[in-house]
Chains A and B, each alone.
Chain A
Amino acid sequence: MNPRPDPAGTLLFRGADWDFETLRRINEACEDIATKELGLDTYPTQIEVITAEQMLDAYASSGMPLFYKHWSFGKHFAQHETIYRQGLGDLAYEIVINSNPCICYIMEENTATMQALVIAHAAFGHNHFFKNNYLFKQWTDADGILDYLDFAKGYIADCEERYGHREVERVLDAAHALMSHAVHRYPRRSKPDLRSEEKRERERRAHEEQMFNDLWRTVPAQRGEAGAPTTEDMRRALLQLPQENLLYFLEKSAPRLPPWQREILRIVRLIAQYFYPQRQTKLMNEGCATWVHYRIMNRLHERGQIGDGDYLQFVHSHTNVTFQPQYNDRRWNGINPYALGFAMMSDIERICREPTAEDRHWFPDFAGNGEPEAVLRDVWANYRDESFVLQFLSPALIRKWRMFHILDDSNESELRVEAIHDERGYRRIRSALARQYDVAWLDADIQIVDVDLAGDRRLVLHHNVVNRILLESEDTGRVLQHLADLWSYDVLLKEIDTASGVVLKEHRAAPQRSAQ
């Protein structure tokens, strides 16, 4: 490569080529800035260099290094591969896994500058966020996730051997269909501890094997449910109804599921739970990582550790990542979380350092305090996307982005502009935008409300319809079919308007396989 001037001898690398020594130097330089200047607190990192094909592999299994086998992952792989081969989309520069140690995949094709960007972004930005954000602390177990996935993979392979591919696939299909409604949204009694999960299952099976006594088969089964209290409330309390975690309910209460199927439901449910915080913090997570890489790369350049040409390459990539097309642009595809997250965090930095009178009025707590790093660390630790936008979207940024709020009511013939970037609109835009990031608001609110235990054991679910938006009807039919197959009896889903209490639509499904 062409030699570049480096009078001070401080450059971390020259040209595009890199080796492991370069990566180590880059990481050390980044770490210096991240811990001393930004005060980041991260898990130890493990950087893994991978090829494009391995990146595609990782895509297909939600970025995890190991996962159980299922055809849908093959489908996703084929999809990504086609897009990549046709040159329609680039691969991500990195994938980072919320585990301890934090695993960052980086692609071998990246230039040295890109590797620096990626290390700053993933190994420090994302890593800090994973370790400190309250949602991740509350819901995920970074120490145990890889062990648990290993257990899950082994367990499902084991089931396939015992019960056949087809049976296992059927259960997994059904579980995946219900996965979006298989999370506990509110903290429960104990923290999930993935490591003990595996032990618990092993003990349970050992106990079963020990206690196995063929004689009991001939004893007439006791009808546990027959003795159940007849009053509706008692019954619901017993079954913990209403219940919004569909897989949890099936795992605990489906009458005819064999134990191994319950365990598979549990595996899928726990994995869904593990990914739940990521869905709620997409904007912040990317914003945090982008802001951190921007700071680190700029500091590296200021210190003379990155050459001017390489710095320009970085700026080019950074601008691509944080590009936000406008609503009427051909490229418009929703709000870019990198762009908005980075813009808001940079805005917080500005408010801390050079506040205007307006900022002092809106953000009296920290305007002008001169410590953006501390403020941001607090933000990263204690907010999620929805509350972050609700608290920190400033009028200045609303004006800069020229945001406006429109209402699309299918009863009206035209869309209406509700608010624009003016004095009357700031708060309304802010709360409307925050709502766009509220996962609880975006996901349909579906709950299991009752089971007809005395009669035909029909499972009754309610969808609480908000703003008259019904469920996608064809998909719902298919999901209900899966649900009915797991439950083994009829299933009824009522879509009820929350405002009026009127039943708007009903979906029904009966189990395909008749009761044996």
Chain B
Amino acid sequence: MHIVDRRLNPGGKSLENRQRFLRRAQALVRRAVREQTRDRGIRDMEKGGDVSIPSDGVREPTLRRSSQGGKRDMVLPGNRDFVEGDTIARPGGGGGRGGAEGAPDGGGEDDFRFALSQDEFLDLFLDDLELPDLAKRKVEGIENVEWRRAGYSVSGSPANLALLRTMRNSLSRRIALKRPKGEELLELEREAEALEASAADPVRLAFVRERIAVLDQRRRRIPWIDPIDLRYRQFSPYPRPVAQAVMFCLMDVSGSMTEPMKDLAKRFYALLYIFLKRRYKHVEIVFIRHTHVAAEVDEDTFFHSTETGGTVVSTALEEMRRIVAERFRPNDWNIYAAQASDGDNAPNDKERTGDLLQNAILPVCQYFAYLEVGTEDEPSSLGLGSRPSDLWRTYDALRQEGAPFGMRKVRHRRDIFPVFRELFQKRSEARSAP
């Protein structure tokens, strides 16, 4: 008998099969993942989890007999009440229990559930989306420099000595110039000693002595390491892309924003958050809510506490500008902002809002997304007689000028995902579409 310990064998033997399975069911899994993200909180959006797909797509059909109809015999254990010839009312479900064994796949209609890892989940979820201007367009300042290896040079500091390369040069030089080897010299010296001791062959002794002198001199002329051999590792500066991002969530929390509207906004923020999280090492979120005054708050307050007051959008933009100036130097941070509002704004604030956005906010932002949320039953959703909101018209004027700016209207949960995708579609696709 042998005992073999297989525990240390590399795991993941089924990994390839799993990938094949996911590839096979890709369309279905992707749809399932997207549907599922509707019901998740903002921060656990990016965890893996169970998804279920219609088993139809990954069915393995076999030729088997139907579990219904026909004449069937069954032998069962545990008879307490029956005698031969008794009749029993048919239990619900036609074929009765016998069918359960014959359908390992679970029949046809059932969903197939399985767990996705976090990476698989996000890959499928964010597949084919792209962030606009992933890295900062202009990189300045010495902090953002990274040193990278750039070959070898003949001068440099001793710490950067490339030993291997140096020794290689030295070796080839020594071979080329025929530097006498130590062993060779040692051999001759030993022979000289022996000859001296025996004193048998003075001619040979003289020859050996001379030879030793020649070799010794040659050795001194050709050094072990010459300055010409030295090589140093060279480094040169590269601009380093900014690897951190901050995401500003701006939201109108005045009385006109209802809970469902906030919910829509929250979903959008959640999507943006995981998307940024995926692309940048470090992502911060700043929540700014506003009525006629704006304030930075924590997530819970942002989504859950109610506030009354008018609606002055520019206050939020002003607050954002202040925070950017204080804490997030545009050179060091990729700045994203998402604003959600029902579109109301005080009439006299229009000028100021447009001005702030165009001259203060957009220049420092990688992307600014404006999301106008509405309710499902809003008459304007029918299209006829719909009138763009104040804020929409203000922003719409700015949109023309090709700024890093996107705006969409959302009225229902199911629109969130398409809208998000529209905003962040890969550039090439976005361009090809007029």
Interface set of A (CB-CB < 8 Å, partner B): 20, 23-24, 27, 31, 44-51, 53-54, 56-57, 60-61, 69-75, 77-79, 81-82, 85, 101, 105, 108, 123, 165, 169, 176-181, 324-329, 332-335, 401-411, 413-422, 424-425, 429, 432-433, 435-436, 442-444, 446, 467-476, 478-479, 482
The number of chain B residues with a CB under 8 A from chain A is 65
User: Can you show 23 pairs from A to B with CB atoms below 8 A apart?
Assistant: A31-B1, A45-B1, A49-B5, A54-B6, A54-B9, A60-B14, A71-B20, A75-B21, A77-B21, A81-B114, A327-B77, A333-B101, A334-B101, A408-B98, A414-B90, A417-B88, A418-B84, A420-B82, A433-B75, A436-B73, A468-B70, A469-B66, A471-B63
A-B contact count (CB 8 A): 260
B368 to chain A, nearest CB (A): 41
Are the C-beta atoms of A332 and B3 separated by less than 8 Å? no
Give A169 to B21 CA distance when docked, in angstroms: 11
Residues on A with beta carbons closer than 8 Å to the beta carbon of B79: 327, 402-404, 420-421
Q: Known contacts A57-B14, A402-B79, A417-B86: does B3 contact A446 (CB below 8 Å)?
A: no
Q: How far is the CA of A73 from the CA of B21 in the complex (A)?
A: 8
Q: Which of A31, A74, A329, A424 contacts B84 (CB 8 A)?
A: A424
Task: Look across to chain B and name the residue whose beta carbon is closest to the beta carbon of A410.
Answer: B69
**Is B74 touching A74 in the complex (CB atoms < 8 A)?**
no
Interface centre among A177, A178, A180, A472 (most CB of B within 10 A): A472
- Complex CA gap A78/B51 in Å reads 11
**Chain A residue with minimal CB distance to B87?**
A414
* Complex alpha-carbon distance, A71 and B23, angstroms: 9
Decide: B77 and A335 in contact? CB cutoff 8 A.
Answer: yes
The yes or no answer to B295 lying at the interface (CB within 8 A) is no
Q: List residues of B (1-26) whose CB comes within 8 Å of A's CBs.
A: 1-7, 9, 11, 13-14, 16-24
Answer yes or no: B393 CB below 8 A from chain A CBs: no
Q: Are B88 and A479 in contact (CB under 8 A)?
A: no
- Is B149 engaged at the interface, CB distance under 8 Å to the other chain? no
* Top 10 A-B pairs, shortest CB-CB distance: A326-B78, A74-B21, A469-B70, A74-B17, A78-B114, A478-B61, A327-B76, A71-B20, A404-B79, A467-B71
| Residues of A close to B24: CB separation below 8 A | 71, 169
Chain A nearest CB from B362 CB (Å) reads 46
**Within 8 Å CB of B98, what residues of A?**
408
Contact with A along B70-110 (1 / 0, CB 8 A): 11111111111011111111100011111011000000100
A78 to B18, Cβ gap below 8 A?
yes
For residue B94, which residue of chain A has the nearest CB? Answer: A410
Which residues of the other chain, A, contact B115 by a CB distance below 8 angstroms? 78, 81-82, 85
CB of B77 within 8 A of CB of A469, answer no
Decide if B88 touches A470 in the complex (CB within 8 Å): no
Contacts of A420 in B (CB 8 A): 79, 82-84
Question: In this assembly, does B67 line the interface, its C-beta being within 8 Å of a C-beta of chain A?
Answer: yes
Closest to B88 in A: A415
Pair B4/A46 contact, Cβ less than 8 Å: yes
CB proximity of A48 to chain B, nearest CB, Å:
5
Q: Is the CB of B1 within 8 A of A44?
A: yes
Any A CB within 8 A of the CB of B62: yes
The interface residues of chain B lying within 8 Å CB-to-CB of A61 are 14
Chain A residue at smallest Cβ distance from B16: A69
Chain B neighbourhood of A45, CB < 8 A = 1-2
Query: At the interface, yes or no: B128 with Cβ under 8 Å from chain A?
Result: no
User: B112 at interface (Cβ–Cβ under 8 A)?
Assistant: yes
Residues from chain A with Cβ under 8 Å of B101 in the complex: 333-334
CB distance from A511 to the nearest CB of B (A): 17
On whether A408 and B67 interact (CB within 8 A), knowing A69-B20, A334-B101, the answer reads: no
Instruction: Give A417 to B17 CA distance when docked, in angstroms.
Output: 47
B64 within 8 A of A: yes
Contact of A409 among B9, B17, B64, B71 (CB under 8 A): B71
Select from chain B the residue with minimum beta-carbon distance to A49.
B5
Quick check: is B65 within 8 A (CB to CB) of the other chain?
A: yes
In Å, the complex CA distance between A78 and B71 comes to 36
Bound Cα distance A371, B9 (Å): 45
